[in-house]
Structure 1
Amino acid sequence: MVTEYGPVSIWSVVVALGVLTFSIRASFIYLFGRIDEVPDRLSNALRFVPPAVFAALAVPAFVAPEGAIAVVGNERLVAGVVAAAVTWYVDDVFATIVVGMGTLWILRFGL
Structure 2
Amino acid sequence: MTEWSHIRIWAAIAGIGICTYVIRLSFVYLFGRIDSVPPRVEQTLRYVPAAVLAALVVPAVVTVQPTLGETVLDARLVAGSIATTVAWRTENVFYTIVVGMATLWVIRFGPSLIG
| Band of TM-score, shorter chain | 0.7 to 0.9
1:96 pairs with 90, 99, 109, which one? 99
- 2: distance between equivalents of 1:71 and 1:86? 27
1:70 aligns with 2:76: no
User: Are the counterparts in 2 of residues 87 and 96 from structure 1 also a CA contact under 8 Å?
Assistant: no
Structure showing greater relative contact order (alpha-carbon pairs closer than 8 Å, 6 or more residues apart): 2
User: Are the counterparts in 2 of residues 71 and 77 from structure 1 also a CA contact under 8 Å?
Assistant: no
1:52 aligns with 2:51: yes
In structure 2, relative to structure 1, the CA distance for the partners of 1:7 and 1:99 (3 Å cut) is closer
| Other-structure match for 1:83 | 83
Deviations 1:32-60 (A, max 9, x none): 11111111111111111111111111222
Structural RMSD (CA): 2.9
Matches within 5 A, 1:23-42: 23-42=22-41
Residue identity opposite 1:44 in structure 2: Q
Gaps of 5+ in 1: none
User: Are the counterparts in 2 of residues 62 and 76 from structure 1 also a CA contact under 8 Å?
Assistant: yes
- What is the TM-score of this pair, normalised by structure 2? 0.70
Aligned length: 104
User: Are the counterparts in 2 of residues 83 and 96 from structure 1 also a CA contact under 8 Å?
Assistant: yes
Going by fraction, where is helix more abundant, 1 or 2?
2
User: Is the partner of 2:11 in helix, strand or coil?
Assistant: helix
Gaps of 5+ in 2: none
Q: Displacement, 1:4?
A: 1.8
